[in-house]
Structure 1
Amino acid sequence: MYPTLRKFHVLALASALAFGAASQPAAAADDGKISIMVGGITKLIYLPARLTEQLGYFKDEGLNVELLSQPAGVDAENELLAGAVQAVVGFYDHTIDLQTKGKNVESIVVFGQVPGEVEMVSAKSADTLKSMGDVKGKTLGVTGLGSSTSFLTQYLAQQHGIKSTEYTMLPVGADASFIAAVKQGRIDAGMTTEPTVSALLKGGEAKVLVDMRSVEGTKAALGGTYPASSLYVQSAWADGHKAQAKKLAHAFVRTMQFIHTHSADEIAAKMPADYQKDKALYVSALKASLPMYTADGKMPADGPDTVLKVLAAFNPSVKGKHVDLSKTYTNEFVTAK
């Protein structure tokens, strides 16, 4: 339903970077249409994007919003920098990584106070891979190289003293492609989200190794809350389109309030039928995911520091660099009346 933008947009990014144009707001925004790239639109971590559309909140704000889907957050990020889209629904950590590369991008709505990610171990490898301390020589699945899942995977392994050179990260995407990678034995373990987690558990193909769907599980794995799924834009776009940014934020905040005042069954009833090929499984996965959502779209006070700590531990783009966290997010639009 939502086509992936063609690969020439990546070429557009290279051209934009060469001429210093990538830091400018996308010209396409001037026609009133807002294109939002979602890093995997069927993932429950990004449910607010589709749900907001389903509830009619974009239209209530007078917005013309187009939702597009890209399997990996790093690819969605590239579309934003290329000017192909005006906003991305992806992980907040990209805003920190990009600042160290001279790109000013900020989160204007936070959907998840935790990653909602789960490291799953293949049933075939479960006997020898009982923790992230056992990943030496293993192949670990991530959505894409340089994606948030690769950041988190490296951090979790490093916590056990294992270097990124001691295992292989394989980009396998999400949803059906992730499940296929597990079934075909191409990965020993991998990081994914709901409803893929519940589907693998139901089929017996994999088991949970590290669970970051709740605040408790995330604090145990990362040492604090970890704001993840969010709506982020180029800062220049936000500065030049404050009215649109405010309306977008207001629409999403209404959705976060809807999520916190309705049951998993009621929320699922608003989602497209093709998202719920197994309705019972979808509702169960959604119920397991509800604790991760913010109620108001605001950035958790301790969140940015935790994310920076994770990135600075291994990411060469961030390690040793000064990062002004105040420029990586704003609550201005979610609190605007």
Structure 2
Amino acid sequence: MSLARILLDSAATTALVATMALSAPSARADEKVSIMVGGYEKQIYLPAKLTEALGYFKDEGLDVELLNEPAGVDAENEMLAGAVQGVVGFYDHCIDLQAKGKFVESIVQFSQAPGEVELVSAKHPEIKSPADFKGMSLGVTGLGSSTNFLTEYLAVKNGLKLGDFTSVPVGAGTTFIAAMQQDKIQAGMTTEPTITRLLKTGEASVLIDMRTMEGTKAALGGTYPAASLYMQTDWVEAHKDTVQKLANAFVKTQKFINTHTGAEIADKMPKDYYVGDKEGYVKALDAGKAMFTPDGIMPEGGPETVLTVLSAFKKELQGKQIDLSKTYTSEFVKNAK
């Protein structure tokens, strides 16, 4: 065989191998999706980081970038600006945004209770109910956030006007704790593990507990769907395959939470989430695990409760017709593998 023929055959073989490599399934790039989480160290938003840790995004061929934003309202703004494709935040934003002419829908409903607690500083034992909020500074994660919505509702429900108190954006975790220690806030709404940290030191006590279904119904009058994955409706319609893969991954996580102990779940989470107290983290998780839906489906009657709560104090919603069927969809969770 001539040298020219050998070189020609070698080149053809190289080209064939290259073509096969390019066409192989393993060479396909994962689909990139960016999701903003309203504080992914909060236990209420645990499904986001847990799904990543369990490898469920990768199993679906997704390259999901989780971005942290302490206040849900800021995460919402990032999505509306097109910086991210989805938000892990409270479902109530979907209703609030429709009143402003923007259509956003919950794709996977993570929880059926807010997982929030109104804490009162030990320095202010005179606060015995939301009726005592008059003249007080109340901590919320951010202005326009779900903690702000719930705080305003509880105050109005107990006879106050919105101008009778001041909502102070203090985030969660260390910044919330510092604000209470420095008496910048006399009470405030927060989640685990911040709740356990303040109760353990005796610096705060529980005024209203919405970590359980019973406590939520007592405070808000019904099931209150809270943590969810929500996305702009237009984006969902244009990327149904990607959204289905996200739903597949998250529904697997909901089932994992439903079938594992707090300790087993905690072992999958970053150690810095324990804030130096793994025992307290696990205890809080075991106590609040029932707030998570087992399958990602919107709880029956939940959207109506949220609309009733928001309508009590939000002028933008009063007198408006809100189509609740456009604020969530069960299509993808029902089709999940």
Superposition deviation, residue 31 in structure 1:
9.1
Of the three residues 130, 133, 137, the one matched with 2:131 is 133
Superposition deviation, residue 258 in structure 1:
0.3
The amino acid of 1:85's aligned partner reads: V
Which residue of 1 is the match for residue 146 of structure 2?
148
Which residue of 2 is the match for residue 278 of structure 1?
277
Superposition deviation, residue 275 in structure 1:
1.2
Which residue of 2 is the match for residue 5 of structure 1?
none
For the Cα contact (< 8 Å) 2:30–2:63, is it kept in 1? Answer: no
TM-score (norm 1): 0.90
Name the CA distance, whole Å, in 2 between partners of 1:235 and 1:114.
Answer: 24
The amino acid of 1:278's aligned partner reads: D
Superposition deviation, residue 287 in structure 1:
1.4
User: Which residues in structure 2 correspond to 1:20-59 (within 5 Å)?
Assistant: 32-59=31-58
Aligned-residue identity in percent: 65
Superposition deviation, residue 320 in structure 1:
1.4
User: Which residues in structure 2 correspond to 1:202-213 (within 5 Å)?
Assistant: 202-213=200-211
> Which one has a bigger Cα radius of gyration?
2
Which residue of 1 is the match for residue 252 of structure 2?
254
Q: 5+ residue gaps in structure 2?
A: 1-28
Name the CA distance, whole Å, in 2 between partners of 1:69 and 1:222.
Answer: 28
Asked if 1:99 corresponds to 2:95, the answer is no
Superposition deviation, residue 32 in structure 1:
3.1
Name the CA distance, whole Å, in 2 between partners of 1:320 and 1:85.
Answer: 32
The amino acid of 2:155's aligned partner reads: A
Which residue of 1 is the match for residue 159 of structure 2?
161
Of the three residues 195, 211, 216, the one matched with 1:218 is 216
Which residue of 2 is the match for residue 24 of structure 1?
none
Q: 5+ residue gaps in structure 1?
A: 1-29
Name the CA distance, whole Å, in 2 between partners of 1:141 and 1:275.
Answer: 21
Superposition deviation, residue 133 in structure 1:
1.2
For the Cα contact (< 8 Å) 2:92–2:146, is it kept in 1? Answer: yes
Q: Deviations over 1:147-201 (max 9, x none)?
A: 1111100111111111111111111011111111111110000000001000100
Which residue of 2 is the match for residue 293 of structure 1?
292
Which residue of 1 is the match for residue 114 of structure 2?
115
Which residue of 1 is the match for residue 14 of structure 2?
none
Name the CA distance, whole Å, in 2 between partners of 1:200 and 1:65.
Answer: 33
SS in structure 2 at match of 1:190: strand
Asked if 1:314 corresponds to 2:316, the answer is no
SS in structure 2 at match of 1:330: coil
Name the CA distance, whole Å, in 2 between partners of 1:326 and 1:101.
Answer: 16
Q: Deviations over 1:209-256 (max 9, x none)?
A: 000000000000000000000000000111010011001011000000
Name the CA distance, whole Å, in 2 between partners of 1:88 and 1:251.
Answer: 15
Name the CA distance, whole Å, in 1 between partners of 2:147 and 2:220.
Answer: 13
Name the CA distance, whole Å, in 2 between partners of 1:31 and 1:250.
Answer: 15
TM-score (norm 2): 0.90
User: Which residues in structure 2 correspond to 1:183-194 (within 5 Å)?
Assistant: 183-194=181-192
Q: Deviations over 1:252-303 (max 9, x none)?
A: 0000000010000111111111112211111112112201100000000110
Name the CA distance, whole Å, in 1 between partners of 2:309 and 2:46.
Answer: 25
Which residue of 2 is the match for residue 264 of structure 1?
262
SS in structure 1 at match of 2:101: coil
Name the CA distance, whole Å, in 1 between partners of 2:253 and 2:328.
Answer: 20
Which residue of 2 is the match for residue 195 of structure 1?
193
Give the stretch that moved more between structures: 310-319 or 183-192: 310-319
Name the CA distance, whole Å, in 2 between partners of 1:312 and 1:279.
Answer: 39
Which residue of 1 is the match for residue 176 of structure 2?
178
SS in structure 1 at match of 2:84: coil
Name the CA distance, whole Å, in 1 between partners of 2:30 and 2:267.
Answer: 33
SS in structure 2 at match of 1:141: strand
Name the CA distance, whole Å, in 1 between partners of 2:176 and 2:286.
Answer: 22
Which residue of 1 is the match for residue 327 of structure 2?
328
Asked if 1:237 corresponds to 2:235, the answer is yes
Runs of 4+ in 1 over 6 A off after TM superposition: none
Matched pairs, number:
307
